[in-house]
Amino acid sequence: MKRKFEKKAESPKVLFDRMQKRGLVIDKDGETALYDAFRQIGYYRFTGFCLPFQKAKPKNSNFVAGTTVQQILRLHNFDTELRALCGKALEKLEVSIRIAICDHMARRHNDPHWYTKQKHYEHADYHQSTLEEAAHALEFDLVNDKCFAPNSVSGRQKFLEHYYENYHTPNIPPCWMLSEVASFGFWSILYKRLTQQDRTQIASRWTFPDKEVMQPILFSDWLWSISIFRNRCAHHSRITHRVFPFQPLLPRENKSRALFKSKTSDLSSLLLVIALLLRSSAQGYQWVDDLRVLFENYSDIDLTAATGVGVGTKNNDWREDPLWHIDKLAK
């Protein structure tokens, strides 16, 4: 039954004593590290990284015997570095994807302002909502047909200021300026709204290791999944020991489908999607090497449990995961 929330903020000493009472091993160094953690990352965030070290039964938050502060912070540090590495990969993908969409549409239709035209969308009702979202990103007031006043001391982006000061038709800037200000989520939604022909041609720039062209329905779904994941990373959410509701679709029956497990709700599936998409982007595949180095640096952690990488392999060993061998499919 629901009840009234009556918890209050508590002092670091009270929180420290609670951790100790639950069986956390705290030596002298651990005491300093725990108080530092309360100050730097907060008690509530810290407890999220405690979960894998706590007993499942009985459900009383007691720690597994021998669990130390250092072990929990080690998991926290791995999560932080993994999130940063994913952020670097997603930055490359976001830029390459929005440029691919803009370049294809502007060149194929010979119109830098293609996104303002209804004919380029699969359904007519997609046009107005996309235009409104684009105008907001471009700091343009569609109702009053004028740009918003600069919202900071330094003013808006210089390229937007230049356009509004020098052009009156079309009233809002071309797609390559939009690509610099609109979010990844915007581009993933816009792609899904385009005509089937344009979606197919854009998706064909991405291929699987066996050279099979990516289908637009899969490409659209993967863009949506990684755009949400990108937001999780950008807002510093914990990504280890998580189940993700925005799980990516499985590829159709081809060689690459064998890379995936039947369930795609864990982190390993998102890492695999990022790796596969990066293969068609400049300097992309080096990321997998960097990812493996990170895993090796934290091999003292149960990385299979933390990420799902290695689940289903012999002995559930993360080193045997297909993620590290996707180029073998090209042979």
Q: What is the pLDDT of residue 122?
A: 95
Q: Is 55 exposed, middle or buried (0-12, 13-18, 19+ CB in 10 A)?
A: middle
What does the alpha-carbon distance between residue 229 and residue 270 come to, in Å, rounded to a whole number? 8
35 Cβ contact partners less than 8 Å away, ≥ 6 residues apart:
12, 16
Rounded distance, CA 48 to CA 236, Å?
13
Quote the pLDDT of residue 32.
Answer: 97
The pLDDT, as a whole number, for residue 299 is 97
Identify each DSSP E strand in the chain by its residue range.
140-141, 146-147
Q: What pLDDT sits at residue 282?
A: 63
Query: Which of 244, 245, 120, 133 has the alpha carbon at shortest distance from 183?
Result: 133
327: Cβ contacts below 8 Å, ≥ 6 apart: 209, 285
299 C-beta neighbours (distance < 10 Å), count? 10
Q: 87 near 271, Cβ under 8 Å?
A: no
Q: Which residues of 128-144 are buried (b: 16+ CB within 10 A; e: fewer)?
A: eebbebbbebbbbeeee
- What pLDDT was estimated at residue 329? 66
pLDDT in tens, the chain (331 residues): 899 999 899 999 999 999 999 999 999 999 999 999 999 999 999 999 999 999 876 667 899 999 999 999 999 999 999 999 999 999 999 999 999 999 999 999 999 999 999 999 999 999 999 999 999 999 999 999 898 877 654 578 899 999 999 999 999 999 999 999 999 999 999 999 999 999 999 999 999 988 889 999 999 999 999 999 999 999 999 999 999 998 999 988 777 888 888 788 999 999 999 999 998 876 556 899 999 999 999 999 999 999 999 998 888 999 999 999 887 765 5
pTM over the 0.85 mark:
yes
- The whole-angstrom separation of Cα 120 and Cα 132 is 16
Residue 237 CA from chain centroid, whole number: 10
Closest CA to 202 of 107, 276, 137, 123: 107
- Domains of the chain, by residue range, sit at 12-67, 80-138+173-330
